[in-house]
Every structure is written in structure tokens, then in C-alpha cells.
Structure 1
């Protein structure tokens, strides 16, 4: 008998609020931590000794967060059920010397992060958000969530080839946003402005990790409001579903036979190779310390890892109505059709037959439909944190996600039902 759905359209409403409140990975993990705290989780420092007590806890490092719930009486060799996701999205990030300009325009020097659809950032009102590091080593979050920046497109009258040859953008010359007027360009103007916005004393900021974001709010779209348009669905949609599933699983803690985990990493969009990325040691260290804190040995660690399963949850490609030929002819995932099982036999995704069985069973228990995605053989396949997690930790990993359009655009599109269908399947997986 399939379990009744636990999340509904209210989950999608909440996702839209989460997207709007999370313009950077640092904001995303702060909002995730706040939700965990409300559910009774507590933060533990990596520099402190960890104890064997049951309950929920989390580690926060930069733009990454790992949270887990230890049921009462869990043995040291108890396996983990992990939801893996990432907090970063392709965007425009501020350079070390941000103040620039030309011909009477003040501009902000930006570097391209990840693989954004550059044209989607043109002529769009942009805010600025991220992390400011102070001279004493502490950091504060800043979010100027109003029209501040704009990357202006060249008028067609000045480039007649655009209608015949298409738009061609140079990442260095054409993507620097304007934010004011004036010829007096002084180093420190942008940071001084952000110090004021954050309520900081002048000259207290020593470093920054800042990025542009579209300020247009997420919105329902379509005749029947069956679609959602918004930023950073890749991959905050999965982070949001993961924390909802984890906190719901923790509420039923006495019935858990596995230790549920949410691992939301940074830097997936540029290869995951950082101390907060999936290719770093963070997840493995947290899992091992959990085993050892409960009195476990290396043998217990090996037993726990051998029976652990990770769902690498990321967005996937819905069949595009204008480019149907770009998809595999026998696999046409649709929005509002339920989660995707993502397969690639060359291990760009980590799913194999046994992994498919695990996720299919979770969807069946949740009463959620399941779709499959595979790339057209004539096109290269993208990848996720899935193969990295499987290879680095020796953990069985399954790549899943939600079908969307406009992936890597400044504003993406998903079905309004899919976020809560994903959350229901994740909860069933954690509850096992």
C-alpha cells in the first residue's frame, strides 16, 4: 500500500520563499540552518569533540551544510541514507578589484561562475548578495535585494548582424554590469557602499564573496498556475526538498532504521573541488566522526558505509517543446510527471540497476510517479555530485532530480507539483 502524500502545494509556496531568500550559497545554508534549528537540530563545531547523544545536528562550513539525525539507540554500524545536493548556481561574481567603468558609466567587474546562459542575464534588474569577511576574521551576509545592476544589451541598430548571425557575447567585454554614472572611478566604492548597506563601519571589510542575482520574485505561471518560474532552482529546489524531508523524518525518529543525512555542497557548478565541494572530505569526515562518536571502530565505519545509500538530487532536462529532437527519442520527461531517475552508462550519472530499485521502491511507497532521463547519444551528457560521491566514499549512489526547462538560465522553469513530489519521495527514502 502506497503511503499518503505528506507534502502538497504548500511545499511549493514555501520553495518560492526559500528561493527568494537565498540569493547566494551562504544565504541558502543560513536559511537551511534556521529551518533545522526550528526542528530541534543543533549546530556542532568541527573543532569540538562530538558526543554519542541521539538527535539532530549539523555542521556549517562556508556555502555547504551537512545535517544528520541519530535515532535513539542507533548502533555504531548503523548505515546512512543520504540526500546530496548543491547550493551554488551559475552567475556573475564580483572580482577582487570591483570598481571599473568607461565612457561615463560606473560598472562592477565580474567573473563568470559556472556555465550560465549569458543572454538570460542581459537587460535584467540585478541585486548583489554574498558574504563580507571582516578584518577580525568574522563574516556577515549582505543582500541588496533591489535593482542595483544591469548588463545592457547592444541595440539592434548598432549590430545588424544579430538578426542574421545570432547574438555573440564575449564574457570579458560584454558582461560587465553598470550601476551608476561618473568618471571618477575610485577603488573601494562598491565595498564602501556594501559596508553601509550591511550597517558596518567604513573600512572594516577585508574580503568578499559577492554575486549578482535577479531581483524578480519567483512566480506561478500558466493558465492554471501549473508552472513555477524562478532563479536558482538548479539546485536549491533539491536543497529545500532535502531539508523538508530530513526534518519530517526526524519527527518520526523512533521508527528510523537508518541515519538520515542531508549534504548540501558548494562549487558543483565548477567541478566540486574545494573544501566545501562534494570532491572534498567534508561528508566523509562527518559520517566517520558520527560512527566514532558512538563508540564505533574502523570495522563499524566500513560496515556502515557498505550499507549506505546516497540520492544525488539535482535538476534534469524536461523535453523542450521547441527542441524535441535534442532529447532521446524514447525518453521524454515531462514537468509535473514526478521525479527523474537519471541514467548514463558512462558514469556521468551514478545510477545503476540496483540504485534504480532503491529509488523506485521509495517512490512507490510515497505514491509518487517516476520518470527516467537519458541523454541523446549524439550529445555529451552533463554530470552531478553523484559519481564523485560514489567514487570518493565508496557509497552506492543514485542520481535523481526534477525535470525543468531553461537550466542555467537566470530564471528557470519547473512544474508546480514536482517539488512536493520530490520531497515525498525523499521522505520515503529516509524513512525506509
Structure 2
């Protein structure tokens, strides 16, 4: 895929993926369009050599793979891992709040949100609704209001004179979005039923049973900067990696057994049925290598690239970085290293990645957190510790991580796609 087409398609992917459910559905649609066969975990699997397959769990996590050979114990896997979730505000079960003349929504903080960035933004609602039909079936459907229907207004400086000396937001009292004034009749469930009917004309709804809905910013993703060298969008962490991994898998050309895993709940620790700290990936891999000895052999001949955004050196906050490990945007993807195993990179996986990047003439940077600061983590150590696969943690340099609108480099995204595509075609990894 060419550079301009790659980035235009990326922007469309970001806009079509306001929640993990929608991101998974976007990836699913792209795979089906390229001839991948959908598998279902409750069925028996018939896997053919030279086949292309994918499977989802909870509608929010997905594993896709290509099998040029069924002898994966000899070839191993070329794996790319990312996550579908991002920090946000999620509606509480009893979300309707009426106070002081306004209809509002009660929300819960999901993940490490930069809360103040959500103030004064044009917000919409998307997610999954589970309902009972008039025929008695229980089904789930995805919804996306698309229009800006909510806002969390800031407090004027006249009523908070010290705001610029230090700013905090109370998650219980101060982040309730406003939908409309009390002079308008409002019922949340009626609103959700109307949206379902707008999107699914043939759906006969008896009543809503439950929902998983999130707020999101309606401002479109865009290429910005004087020379359009930056990507500005919500959810770059980590839909950017999901998209890059997807395009690399689609262009893998069936050279080696290759796999993309995009899991939910990374931002809250990954411990769920569909998270990286759950059994999803191992369940799939063991079905493809049911003989225990061959499964271990496959893992030891494999490599996982855990792709998750990295912190670029912010020119206004340069002292937050180790000056010798300060990545710059559009200067290449970052190898993330931590001696306490918050990242899974080791010298061998790092060397392999550097060698592959060199084949593409693609620059590589390194990131180590300051020794006096705590280090975050990724799905990398979780996956390495869970299935024993050699793993590297990499990421694209980003400003404003966990803000409602993040900033990354368009050249970095395309370059990583080229490197990961070559990785999926790399027949020989380490020599023992």
C-alpha cells in the first residue's frame, strides 16, 4: 500500500472505530474483504493449508492468522499484538441523572484518562446494547450515535480563579456530560431503542436488557502540521498499532505462518476472558498445535512484536525523559526496554527487529523511562509470560498519550507497516 493511501485508510479506520467493539468489527470487515474465513470458537475447526482465518471473542478482541503450512512446529509464528481499548468514560448502568435543570449522564472512568482534555468537546455515544426481541431471543447490536449529543462544559475562570495554578477534576461530580435541558422530556432507554431502530430497521425490540456504552470525541481524525506530518486523533493508543498490524498481515503474502492478535482491556490490566491476560490467544494456538510438544516447539520458533504507543520527547517537558533515550516523532519506531520486565524486550528480540528494520532502511529508536520514574507496561510481558514466546515491545512515538486527542507521526506509521510486513515474511529468525 502506498503512503498516501495508507494514511487516508488509517484515518477512516480510526473514525469507524469509536469503541473496541467497533474496532474489532472494522478489522473483521477488512479481513472478510480480503478472503479470510471467520471461525467460531464453539464450532469444530477445519483448517486447510494455505488458509486465512480469524476468530473474535466478546466482539471486542480478534485473532487473525495465515497458514502457508500446517507444520507450525517447524516454522513458528510471526505474531503482532496490539489492543483495541482506549481510556474513556463509560456509562454507568443507571446512567440517567437529572439535576439542576439538566438531563445528564452518570459515567465511570475507564483506564488512565487525562480527564481535563474531555471538557468542552463535542461528544457522542457508541458501544454495544444487549436486548430481548419480540420473538424472545437475546441478541446484541452495536450502536453509534455519530452526532455530537453531549458535552462536559468547563467552569469559567471567574468562578475558579486559581485554575491555571493547578487543575483537578472530581470524577464523581464534575465529569457528568449534559444532554439537554429539563424542559425536554428524556428517557435513556427510549433514546437507545430509537437509535437501534434507526440503525436496524428489521429488529423487533421488546426491551433493552443491558448495555456497554462509551463517550467519544466526534472531531474527525486528521493529518495536521505545516507539512501534514502528524496524525491527530482519538484512540491512537492503540488503534494505530491495530491498523498497522492489520495491514502488515494482509500484505504478508503467505510467506510464513503469521498472526495478528488485538485484545480488549489492556488499559485496565488485560485480565478478562478476551484480554491478553486471559486464555484467548493460548486457546487459539493450542487448537492449531494440539500436540503439547509441537506447541512448545512452535512457540520457541516464533516471535511476538507487541506494538503499543511510546512517549515521544515533548519539547515543553524535556526533563521528563532520560536525555539519552528521548524518541522523536517521525524518526522511527521505538524499542521499549525495561530491566524490571515491564517491557518484554531482550537483546535477541531487539536485535532481530533492528536487523529487519535495517533491511527496510527504517530508523529505530530506543526508550527507557527515567530511573526515578515509574514505568508503564503492555501486553508484551503478559503474552511472553503466558505462552513463552520471545517478545519485543515496540511503539510509535506519541504526544498526549491518554488525552482525548493524541498526536503521532504519519511517516512513523507507514514505516512500521513496512517493517512489520517484512517481519511476517522473515523465514529465519535466530540461529541456535
Contact 2:20–2:264 (8 Å) recurs in 1: yes
Q: 1:206-249 deviations in whole A, cap 9, x for unaligned?
A: 11110001000011111111111111000000000011000110
Q: CA deviation at 1:378?
A: 1.4
Find the aligned partners of 2:104 and 2:197 in 1 and give their Cα distance. 19
Pair 378,407 (structure 1): closer, same or farther in 2 beyond 3 Å: same
Residue 272 of structure 1 corresponds to 270
User: What RMSD, in angstroms, separates the aligned Cα atoms of the two structures?
Assistant: 1.5
Q: CA deviation at 1:61?
A: 1.1
Q: 1:122-141 deviations in whole A, cap 9, x for unaligned?
A: 00000100111122232111
Aligned residue among 304, 323, 328 for 1:310:
304
Q: 1:370-427 deviations in whole A, cap 9, x for unaligned?
A: 1111111111111100010011111111000100100000000011211111111111
Under a length normalisation based on structure 2, what TM-score does the superposition of the two structures give?
0.93
Q: After the TM superposition, which residues 149-298 of structure 1 pair with which residues of structure 2 at under 5 Å, given as runs?
A: 149-163=150-164, 165-182=165-182, 186=187, 188-199=189-200, 200-201=203-204, 203-249=206-252, 252-253=253-254, 256=255, 258-292=256-290, 297-298=291-292
Find the aligned partners of 1:408 and 1:96 in 2 and give their Cα distance. 24
Residue 48 of structure 1 corresponds to 43
Q: CA deviation at 1:10?
A: 2.1
Residue 356 of structure 2 corresponds to 362
Secondary structure of the 1:341 match is: strand
Contact 1:405–1:414 (8 Å) recurs in 2: yes
Residue 126 of structure 1 corresponds to 123
Contact 1:9–1:417 (8 Å) recurs in 2: no
Secondary structure of the 2:105 match is: strand
Find the aligned partners of 1:328 and 1:16 in 2 and give their Cα distance. 32
- Superposed structure 1 runs of 4+ greater than 6 Å apart: none
Contact 1:9–1:420 (8 Å) recurs in 2: no
Secondary structure of the 1:35 match is: helix
Q: 1:22-56 deviations in whole A, cap 9, x for unaligned?
A: 00001101110111111111100111111231211
The total of aligned residue pairs comes to 417
Q: CA deviation at 1:304?
A: 0.6
Residue 388 of structure 1 corresponds to 382
Aligned residue among 27, 31, 55 for 1:32:
27
Q: CA deviation at 1:265?
A: 0.3
Under a length normalisation based on structure 1, what TM-score does the superposition of the two structures give?
0.93
Secondary structure of the 2:385 match is: helix
Residue 3 of structure 1 corresponds to none
Q: CA deviation at 1:192?
A: 3.7
Secondary structure of the 1:363 match is: helix
